[in-house]
Amino acid sequence: MSYVNMEKILKNARQGGYAVGAFNIVNEMTAKASVEAAEALNAPIILQTSVKTVKQFGISEMMGFLKPIVKNAAVDVAIHLDHSTDVDFTLACIEGGWSSVMYDGSKLPLKDNIQNTKAVVEAAHKKGVTVEGELGAIVGVEDDIVVKEGESALADPKDCKVYLEATGIDAFAPAIGTAHGLYKGEVKIDYDLFKKIESFSPCPLVLHGGTGLSTDTFKRLIDLGAAKVNISTAIKIAYCSGMGEYTKMHPDQNDPLKLDAFVKDKVKEVVLKHIKLFTLLEC
Ligand code: 13P
C-alpha cells in the first residue's frame, strides 16, 4: 500500500471501532517482523522509533533502512517518532522523512508545552507530517524519560481543552493512569476521564503503556475511542528473551542468521497478538 502519516489510518480506526498498533521497533529486523505481522492481518501499522533508537543509528541511516521496508509493504505504514522532548530533534526527524512525530512537552508548564507543540505542528503540517501531543504524566520509564510513581498526574480536562484548541495536533495522549514498562499490582485507569476527554477532543486519542493491559481493558478503551495503542516493552522482552531462548537451545551454534530468524518470529508473534486484540479479532 503506501507510506502514510497517522491521519487517515487513525480516522478509519476510530470510525471502524478498532485501534492501530504502534510498535517500538529497535532495528531493521524488528521493523520487518512488525510489517510482516501487519501484512498477515491486512492491518495498517505504525512503526514507532524512540529518540534513543534514532540517535543510536542516526536520522538518515535509520530512515535509509526503514524506507524500503515501508515502500514494499502490502499495508499502510506510518513511521512515528515517540516521546521526543526536544523541539530541534523533532524538527530534524520531520526533515529526515518521518511521517509522524510525537512532541512530548508534558513535563513543561502548559504555556511552554503549547508554544513548543505549536512550533512542531506548524513545521510538520507544511510537510504533511502528523503530530501527537501529551498532557499529564505517564508513570514509568520510556527511553530516557522517567516519571516516578509519586510524580504521575492524570491529564486535567480543562488543560486538555486549552491545549487541543491552541495546538491543532493530530493525535492526543492524555495520561489516564496507564504506565510505561511492566505493571506492578493493580492498574488504575480513569475510564471516565478518558471518555470525557474523548467527548471534546477534535483528534483521535492515543493509549500509552500498552504492554500488560488486559484484553478487557483494551476493548473498553478502544470502545471509548482509543485509536492508537503503543506497545514497546513487550517487543523488547520478546527480542531479549528470544535471544536467550535460542542460545540456550543451541549453545554450540554460532549462526547469527538463524538466531535472527528465531528472534524475528518471536517479535512477530507479539505484534500479531496485539494487532488481533486491537482489531478485536481475538486474543
Ligand atoms: P509499554 O512499554 O508499556 O508498552 O508502553 C509503550 C509506550 O507507550 C511507548 O510510548
- What is the residue with the minimal CA distance to atom 8 of ligand 1? 208
Per-residue pLDDT at 283 exceeds 80 = no
User: Tens digits of per-residue pLDDT, 238-248?
Assistant: 999 999 999 99
Distance CA 33, CA 125 (A): 30
Would you call 71 exposed, middle or buried from its count of C-beta atoms within 10 A (0-12, 13-18, 19+)? exposed
Q: How confident is the model at residue 257 (pLDDT cuts 50, 70, 90)?
A: very high
**Alpha-carbon distances, residue 134 vs 163, 192, 198, 222 (angstroms):** 9, 18, 14, 18
Catalytic residue among 82, 104, 143, 170: 82
What is the SS3 assignment for 186-220? CCCCCHHHHHHHHHHCCCCEEECCCCCCCHHHHHH
- The β-bridge relationship of strands 20-24 and 226-231 is parallel
User: Tens digits of per-residue pLDDT, 30-75?
Assistant: 999 999 999 999 999 999 999 999 999 999 999 999 999 999 999 9
The whole model's pTM is what?
Answer: 0.95
Distance CA 249, CA 149 (A): 38
Q: Are 73 and 46 in contact (CB under 8 A)?
A: no
What would the grid cell of residue 198 be? Answer: 474523548
What would the grid cell of residue 223 be? Answer: 470502545
Per-residue pLDDT at 21 exceeds 50 = yes
- Give the residue-averaged pLDDT of 182-198: 91
Distance CA 138, CA 222 (A): 19
User: Tens digits of per-residue pLDDT, 101-112?
Assistant: 999 999 999 999
Per-residue pLDDT at 149 exceeds 70 = no
Tell me if 142 CB under 6 Å of ligand 1.
yes
Angle between helical axes of 87-95 and 110-126 (0-180°, round to 10): 10
82 is catalytic: yes
* Averaged confidence pLDDT in the chain: 94
Tell me if 228 CB under 6 Å of ligand 1.
no
Q: How far is the CA of 207 from the centre of ligand 1 (A)?
A: 9
